[in-house]
Structure 1
Amino acid sequence: MSVAPSKDFKGALSKEELKKLENVVNTGMMNAGMVLSQLLKKNIDLFIPEIIMNDRDGLAEEIRFSENHFYGLRIRMNGDLNGNLLMMFSRENAANLAKELLGSETSPGEKLTEDAKSVLSEISNIVCSSVMNSISNKAKASVTPSVPEFLEGTFMQVLDVVKPERTKFLSMLTEFNHEGNDLLGVLLFLPDFDELLQLIPRF
C-alpha cells in the first residue's frame, strides 16, 4: 500500500508546517505504541515516515487494490480543531494485523471475525485519540473526539463516508512494527485547514 501526492497537486501547508505537524503526529504515534504494547502485552512501535498533502482522486490512484475490501474507523474532531480522522486498512493488512496481535487466522478473501473487527476498532481508536491528544497538548488547545464509527467497503466507499468538504487532506502511511513485521495502515487527516493553520505556530 503506497501513498503519494497526485500530479500537479498543490497543498495548503508549507514544508516547514508539514514538518512541525509530522513531529507532533509522531509523538502521538509513540504514545499509541506504548498504550498498545501494554494493552496487548506485545512490543509494538508505530511510525509515520511522512505526511503528504493529497486529494481524493489522487489518493485513490495511488492506493494499490483500492477496489478491494477496506476497513476503516472514523473519529470526528470537535473544539478548536474540527474535522475527521480516518484510519484505514486493506482486508489483507487487517487480517495480518489481527493474526499478529490476536493470534487469529483469517483465510484470504474471508471477512474479519467480530473479535478481529473489535481489536481493529480499538487499535484505530487508540491511534486517532493519541494523535488528537498530541495536537491538543502541543498547541494547548481543546480537541475532543466523537464516538468512533466502524466502516467497511471499497477504499472510495469508506473515504466518501467522511464527505470531505474540501479537496485537500493529509495522508499518512502508518507502520505498525511488531517483532520485525511491518503492518501497514493509512491514516487520513481531514481537518479544517484554517483552524489547523492557526494551531501550527503553537507547536
Structure 2
Amino acid sequence: MRLENLTSMQIDFLKELTNIGGGNAATALSQMVNRPIKMEIPTVKLLPYQKLFSDIMKEEELVNAISIRILGDVPGTFLFILKEKDCLDLIEMLTGNIVKSLDEVAISTLQEICNIICSSYMNALSRMLNLTFISSVPAFAQDMFGAIFLTTYIEAGHIEDHLLIIENYFLVNDKKMKAHLFFIPYSGSLEKIFSMINL
C-alpha cells in the first residue's frame, strides 16, 4: 500500500489510534516516574521521503535513536529519534532528575520511555482489532539521522515514497517538548489493518 494513497477515513482511523495510544502512554509514563505527565493528541503526518531531511532534520545531523521491531500480526519497526540535548531534556523533564550526559542509566531510561510509548500504541491497536504483537528489546544507536533512518527503512523492505510519522507532545507543568516517532510498516501490514475494519 502506498501511503500517499490513504483515504481520509484511513487517516482518521490512524489519528484515533494514536489518540488512544497517546493517552495510554501518558498514564504509563506518569506511573513510571511517579509524577503527572500529559501528552497532547499526537499528530499523524504523511511526509514525502524527499522532504524528510528538510522538514524534520538534516541528513548529517548526529542523533540518538531507539528502535523497536514489532513482530506478529502487523510487523514493522518503530524509530524514536532525538538530538542528544533533546534526549537529556526529555529525561530531565519526565523524571525531574538533572542529566548531564547519556550514560548507561540515561540510555536505559530513554529506552524504557520509548518502549512505553510504542507499547501503548500497539496495545491500543491490539484491543481495537484483536491482534497479537511481540516487540523486541529497544535498541540504542547513535549516528547521523540519514544513516539511522535509511538503514531501518531498508531493513523493513519499505520502498514507498511517503513516510508515516507520529508527532508526540509531552507536557510536564509548564514545559512542553515535541518528539518524532516513525512507524515503518512491513509489506502488507497496513493492508491487513484496514481490511479488518473495512476501510
Q: Which runs of 5+ in 2 are unaligned?
A: none
Q: Is the 8 A contact 1:84 1:190 kept in 2?
A: yes
Task: List structure 1 runs of 4+ shifted beyond 4 angstroms.
Answer: none
Q: Percent identity?
A: 26
- Answer yes or no: is 1:120 the counterpart of 2:110: yes
Q: Is the 8 A contact 1:169 1:191 kept in 2?
A: no
Aligned match for 2:129, one of 130, 139, 154: 139
Q: Is the 8 A contact 2:37 2:94 kept in 1?
A: no
**Aligned counterpart, 2:177:** 183
**Aligned counterpart, 2:153:** 163
Q: Which amino acid aligns with 1:88?
A: I
- Answer yes or no: is 1:36 the counterpart of 2:29: yes
After superposition, where does 1:19-168 map in structure 2 within 5 Å?
A: 19-102=12-95, 103-106=97-100, 111-164=101-154, 165-167=158-160, 168=162
Further displaced range: 56-65 or 94-103: 56-65
SS in 1 for 2:4: coil
Q: Deviations over 1:104-136 (max 9, x none)?
A: 242xxxx52222211111100110111111111
Q: Is the 8 A contact 1:93 1:184 kept in 2?
A: no
Q: Which amino acid aligns with 2:124?
A: S
- Specify whether residues 24 and 70 from structure 1 end up closer, same or farther in structure 2 by C-alpha distance, changes over 3 A only: same
Q: Deviations over 1:38-97 (max 9, x none)?
A: 110111112344211124332121124553321111111112111111111122211111
Further displaced range: 185-194 or 170-179: 185-194
Q: Which runs of 5+ in 1 are unaligned?
A: 1-8
Q: In structure 1, what is the Cα distance between the partners aligned to 2:125 and 2:170?
A: 20
Aligned positions, number: 191
